[in-house]
Amino acid sequence: VDRLSLGIQSLEDSELRLMGRTHTADEARHIIQLSKEAGFTRLSCDLIYGFPTQTAASIEASLTELMALGPSHISIYGLSVEPGTVLSHKLQKGLWTLPTDEETGAMYDLIMDRLAKGGYERYEISNFAKAGDESRHNLIYWHYHPYLAFGAGATGFDGRKRETNQAYLAAYERGEAPEIEILSPAVQREEMIFMNLRTVRGLSLLDYETRFGRSFELDYGPETEDLIHKGWAKREDGHFRLTPLGMQYGNLAFEAFITTDREPQK
């Protein structure tokens, strides 16, 4: 193992406290240095933007310092508010407020500019790497290839079904059967599309036709034309891919291809 991923989230202590993180900014800086000394040659660090109290200046400060610390891979995630969390409760009560769309848009533009100038190339919606340091592990997911599951709670995929091991260690050790989700051909098509569209490479039209025996253009002609018309996608070199604008609104773009319900777990 030569790659380590660290959930730094921010290098501002006030933001970390608000996020409910148990580490401090100094501890984050220290663990990055320790990771290098331990021999990890491929280091990835995560940041979050769009959190309450955060500003373009504070995310710029965190990002600038993080790049100076020298990880070869940086993941930047826009905040998602999950129901039932402390964040969701405080937002509903009016105790906290999120940055406006204009403010988060300014943060996004700043992040794209600073990472590009720092030599980090975007290869997936939220992931940026120095040349050759893309996450080979995650590319398996995004390219919709099979993968194995090892350990409690792990999920494996064979191209047709997903198997999720028992989450409780005792149940896993007893050999209790994993949960199995059979994916219909329609769901497989949809997942292959939006997983591949997360990448800068996009969806190979030949790969789609080879896998499913049908044309992507015939299956999703109106959807693709609508995204192209919006400036969110383009056809190029045998691929259908999102533009930088489309990546900014990725979840909305993916919705164009989600038209079926999943089959129940069996």
Selection from 45, 31, 199, 36 nearest residue 118 by Cα:
45
pTM above 0.85, yes or no: yes
Q: How confident is the model at residue 260 (pLDDT cuts 50, 70, 90)?
A: low
Residues 6 or more apart whose CB falls under 8 angstroms from that of 231 comprise: 243, 245, 246
Helix, strand, coil shares, percent, the chain, to 5: 45, 20, 35
Quote the distance between the C-alpha of residue 248 and its chain's center: 12
What DSSP string describes 51-72?
Answer: -TT--HHHHHHHHHHHHHH--S
Q: How confident is the model at residue 263 (pLDDT cuts 50, 70, 90)?
A: very low
- Burial class for 92, CB neighbours closer than 10 Å (0-12, 13-18, 19+): exposed
Give the separation between CA 162 and CA 139, rounded to whole angstroms: 17
As a whole-number percent, the residues of the chain with pLDDT over 90 amount to: 79
Q: What is the pLDDT of residue 264?
A: 39
pLDDT tens digits, one per residue of 194-239: 999 999 999 999 999 999 999 999 999 999 999 999 999 999 999 9
Residues 6 or more apart whose CB falls under 8 angstroms from that of 45 comprise: 5, 6, 8, 32, 66, 69, 71, 73, 74, 75
Q: Which domains can be identified in the chain, with CATH numbers?
A: 3-134 (3.30.750.200), 140-182 (no CATH), 185-257 (1.10.10)
pLDDT tens digits, one per residue of 32-42: 999 999 999 89
Q: What is the pLDDT of residue 222?
A: 93
Selection from 21, 20, 97, 95 nearest residue 54 by Cα:
97
